[in-house]
């Protein structure tokens, strides 16, 4: 059981909710779903709501041009707000002792799609295309070169749990993060699985009909120091029930949650809030609600934030850990402002009646605040994180 401090010392993020700490926290806790955009380009003959980042993204520096793709631009946008803290860590510990762990599931596929389309028109690949943009390892190498880190640098890709697993791996490293961008391949893939909602995802509703896709990036500076906001517990499992469907009983999800509690050394009754995986698909919600009820009971406040930013795939575990970080960082004395569960309010009677957060709801905590985040990916790749902070941070 790990008891080594793991401080999430700084956070940079970008998603459909914005980039700055203040705007993201305000929109998160108000349940602002107005940031989604309607797209009719990616899937033939379908219009889809997507959690696309609207703000202009920073350009890739010329020396790193071989990494120029939207995925890495998202990572750079998340890096910018914490650049000073990261550079201070590099100076303090030395480049060889600064590592990078990131998670992604799409890498630069969107830019590869554009390059292949260019080849179909002209017979040659676009001169701006490099394989470094497409391979999963390119994201870690890009971040490492951007910050001047020469320690271990690698990318994890375990579908929708990638970002959470990157944070789990970062308990033995210093720097960690995750990114994923929208692309036609992934969007059409989920469409082929009949997993996309006709509207906006509606988690836990009897009317739910699938997920909404999005893009995001979150980067944490992780140190082995006490205090602040800590990654206290990690639980992971690989149920291998089905390539694209979860175990209907939620046994893998339950194992991940129980193991995260045990790793953190905390009781289920101490968790003040759960950020659900909450995709809004019929299969995910029924199994996750059942697992939450068995592990934590039905009184702990829960919400899915995917109706606000979409399912950001490989970045989901990291961006939702970032939302939990914000909940803890913006603590007001003994109260946590909680992200509301945005849905139509039509509860599915087939699901256990777990406590879904309403707008304006707060959780009372004293003196320590503990929150949980669930991420469940294709192939049964499950990861649960427990974050915590004391009022003396």
Which residue, 223, 251, 286, sits at the end of a domain?
Answer: 223
Please name which of 207, 259, 212, 215 lies closest in space to residue 233, comparing C-alpha atoms. 259
Domain, as residue range, for 249: 230-390
Token pair belonging to 352? 């256990």
Domain identity same for 240 and 355 = yes
> What contacts 387, CB < 8 A, 6 or more positions away?
8, 229, 230, 231, 232, 321, 324, 325, 328, 370, 371, 372, 373
Domain identity same for 38 and 169 = yes
Per-residue pLDDT tens over the stretch 68-117: 988 899 999 999 999 999 999 999 999 999 999 999 887 767 777 777 78
**pTM for this structure?**
0.93
Domain identity same for 313 and 202 = no
For residues 109 and 310, give the distance between their C-alpha atoms in angstroms, rounded to a whole number: 18
CA 358 to chain centre: 22
Is the pLDDT reported for residue 361 higher than 50? yes
Is the pLDDT reported for residue 247 higher than 90? no
DSSP 311-328: B-GGGHHHHHHHHHHHHH
For residues 218 and 359, give the distance between their C-alpha atoms in angstroms, rounded to a whole number: 25
For residues 66 and 60, give the distance between their C-alpha atoms in angstroms, rounded to a whole number: 9
Domain identity same for 102 and 247 = no
Which residue, 223, 242, 265, sits at the end of a domain?
Answer: 223
In the chain, % of residues over pLDDT 90:
73
For residues 178 and 295, give the distance between their C-alpha atoms in angstroms, rounded to a whole number: 28
Q: What is the mean pLDDT of residues 273-300?
A: 97
Q: What is the mean pLDDT of residues 142-169?
A: 92
Residue 167 lies in a domain: yes
Q: What's the residue count for the chain?
A: 393
Per-residue pLDDT tens over the stretch 319-351: 999 999 999 999 998 999 999 999 999 999 999
Please, what's the largest Cα pairwise distance for the chain? 65
Find residue 335's DSSP bridge partners: 332, 364
Token pair belonging to 135? 């391979």
CA distances from 300 to 53, 215, 275 (A): 31, 28, 11
Is the pLDDT reported for residue 388 higher than 80? yes
Q: What is the mean pLDDT of residues 242-256?
A: 84
Token pair belonging to 193? 């699985």
Please name which of 304, 322, 306 lies closest in space to residue 387, comparing C-alpha atoms. 322
Is the pLDDT reported for residue 2 higher than 70? no
Domain identity same for 347 and 379 = yes
CA distances from 48 to 40, 105, 225, 382 (A): 6, 20, 44, 27
Q: Peptide bond before 78: cis, by omega within 30 degrees of 0?
A: no
Residue 2 lies in a domain: no
For residue 341, the domain's CATH number is: 3.40.47.10
Domain identity same for 187 and 251 = no
Number of domains in the chain: 2
Residue 1 lies in a domain: no
Other CB atoms within 10 A of residue 160 CB: 28
pLDDT band at 175 (very low <50, low <70, confident <90, very high): very low
Predicted local confidence at residue 1, as pLDDT: 45
Helix (H, G, I), strand (E, B) or coil at 350: coil
Which residue, 223, 243, 274, sits at the end of a domain?
Answer: 223
Domain identity same for 127 and 192 = yes
Domain identity same for 23 and 123 = yes
> What contacts 319, CB < 8 A, 6 or more positions away?
13, 15, 163, 178, 216, 217, 218, 309, 312
For residues 212 and 205, give the distance between their C-alpha atoms in angstroms, rounded to a whole number: 15
Token pair belonging to 251? 């046994």
Find residue 177's DSSP bridge partners: 219
Domain identity same for 210 and 255 = no
pLDDT band at 137 (very low <50, low <70, confident <90, very high): confident
Domain identity same for 31 and 156 = yes
Domain identity same for 161 and 278 = no
Please name which of 257, 282, 288, 309 lies closest in space to residue 356, comparing C-alpha atoms. 288
Residue 136 lies in a domain: yes
Within 13 Å and on the Cβ side, how many CA atoms surround 208?
30
Domain identity same for 18 and 163 = yes
Is the pLDDT reported for residue 176 higher than 90? no
Characterize the bridge pairing of strands 230-238 and 381-390.
antiparallel
Helix axes 83-93, 137-147, angle to 10 degrees: 80
């Amino acid at each position: 059981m790990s008891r080594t401090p793991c401080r999430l010392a700084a956070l940079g993020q970008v998603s459909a909710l914005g980039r700055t700490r203040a705007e993201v926290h305000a929109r998160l806790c108000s349940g602002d779903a107005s940031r989604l955009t309607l797209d009719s380009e990616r899937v033939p003959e379908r219009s889809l709501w997507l959690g696309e980042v609207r703000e202009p993204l920073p350009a890739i520096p010329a020396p790193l041009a071989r990494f120029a793709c939207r995925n890495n631009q998202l990572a750079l946008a998340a890096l910018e707000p914490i650049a000073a803290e990261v550079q201070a860590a590099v100076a303090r510990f030395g480049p060889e002792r600064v590592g990078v762990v990131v998670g992604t599931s799409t890498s630069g596929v969107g830019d590869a799609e554009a390059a292949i389309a260019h080849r179909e028109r002209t017979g040659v690949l676009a001169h701006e295309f490099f394989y470094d943009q497409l391979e999963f390892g390119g994201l870690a190498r890009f971040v490492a070169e951007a910050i001047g880190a020469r320690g271990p640098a690698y990318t994890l890709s375990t579908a929708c749990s990638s970002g959470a697993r990157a944070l789990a791996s970062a308990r033995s490293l210093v720097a960690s993060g995750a990114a994923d961008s929208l692309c036609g391949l992934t969007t059409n893939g989920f469409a082929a699985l009949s997993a996309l909602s006709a509207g906006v995802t509606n988690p836990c509703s009897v009317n739910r009909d699938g997920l909404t896709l999005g893009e995001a990036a979150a980067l944490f500076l992780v140190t082995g120091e006490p205090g602040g906001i800590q990654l206290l517990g990690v639980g992971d499992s690989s149920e291998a029930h089905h390539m694209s469907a979860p175990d209907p009983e939620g046994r893998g999800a339950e194992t991940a949650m129980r193991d995260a509690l045990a790793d953190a050394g905390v009781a289920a009754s101490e968790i003040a809030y759960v950020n659900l995986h909450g995709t809004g698909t019929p299969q995910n919600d029924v199994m996750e609600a059942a697992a939450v009820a068995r592990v934590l009971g039905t009184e702990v406040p829960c919400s899915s934030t995917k109706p606000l930013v979409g399912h950001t795939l490989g970045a989901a575990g990291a961006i939702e850990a970032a939302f939990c970080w914000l909940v803890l960082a913006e603590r007001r004395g003994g109260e946590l402002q909680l992200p509301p569960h945005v849905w139509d309010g039509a509860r599915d009677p087939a699901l256990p009646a777990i406590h879904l957060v309403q707008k304006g709801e707060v959780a009372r905590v004293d003196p320590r605040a503990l929150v949980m985040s669930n991420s469940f990916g294709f192939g049964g790749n499950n990861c649960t994180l427990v974050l915590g902070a004391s009022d003396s941070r």
